[in-house]
């Protein structure tokens, strides 16, 4: 049996994976709201629905990096356990929740931006975990 220090913080991982899956569509909704009321008002509802389907992948690229960076860093600083593995697992949970939705709603015209968005989320999680590891090692007392 692995000791407690080596155990993955599954509660954190699952909760953060779900939170990111909820948070990212909210950012896309906010963007489409801003676009429809401030940038390009007066279009039909069908126009905005089509725009939302296309724009959401691009918004996900832009907002996914800082969101995954923050949560991987935050969890790594809070738990201090298997930080890099936990960050990757957060991303995997997000992807596992996202792919069925993508298949159900037929996002075939935006697969390339979607793949890029998933890759950038992984990059954000990786960089956040790296920072947490670096900060953790800097704050640890030096051994003689």
In this predicted model, what pLDDT tens digit does every residue of 55-66 receive, in sequence order?
888 898 999 999
* pTM of the model as a whole: 0.85
Better-predicted residue by pLDDT, 113 or 66: 66
**Lowest-confidence pick of 26-30, 47-51, 103-107, 119-123:** 103-107
Judged on CB neighbours under 10 Å (0-12, 13-18, 19+), 87 is buried
DSSP label of 105: T
Residue 140 — very low, low, confident or very high, per pLDDT cuts 50/70/90? Answer: low
Residue 2 — very low, low, confident or very high, per pLDDT cuts 50/70/90? Answer: very low
User: Is the dihedral angle over the CA atoms 121, 61, 64, 127 positive or is it negative?
Assistant: positive
Helix 111-139 / helix 45-79 crossing angle, nearest 10 deg: 20
pLDDT computed for residue 142 by the predictor? 55
Domain boundaries of the chain, sorted by first residue: 10-137
């Amino acid at each position: 049996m692995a000791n407690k220090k080596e155990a993955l913080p599954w509660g954190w991982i699952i909760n953060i994976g779900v939170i990111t899956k909820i948070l990212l569509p909210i950012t896309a909704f906010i963007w489409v709201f801003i676009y429809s009321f401030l940038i390009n008002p007066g279009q039909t509802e069908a126009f905005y629905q089509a725009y939302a389907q296309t724009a959401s992948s691009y918004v996900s690229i832009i907002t996914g990096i800082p969101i995954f960076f923050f949560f991987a860093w935050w969890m790594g600083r809070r738990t201090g356990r298997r930080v890099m593995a936990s960050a990757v697992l957060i991303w995997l949970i997000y992807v596992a929740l996202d792919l069925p939705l993508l298949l159900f709603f037929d996002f075939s015209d935006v697969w390339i931006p979607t793949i890029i968005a998933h890759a950038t989320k992984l990059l954000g999680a990786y960089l956040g975990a790296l920072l947490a590891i670096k900060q953790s090692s800097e704050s640890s007392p030096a051994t003689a």
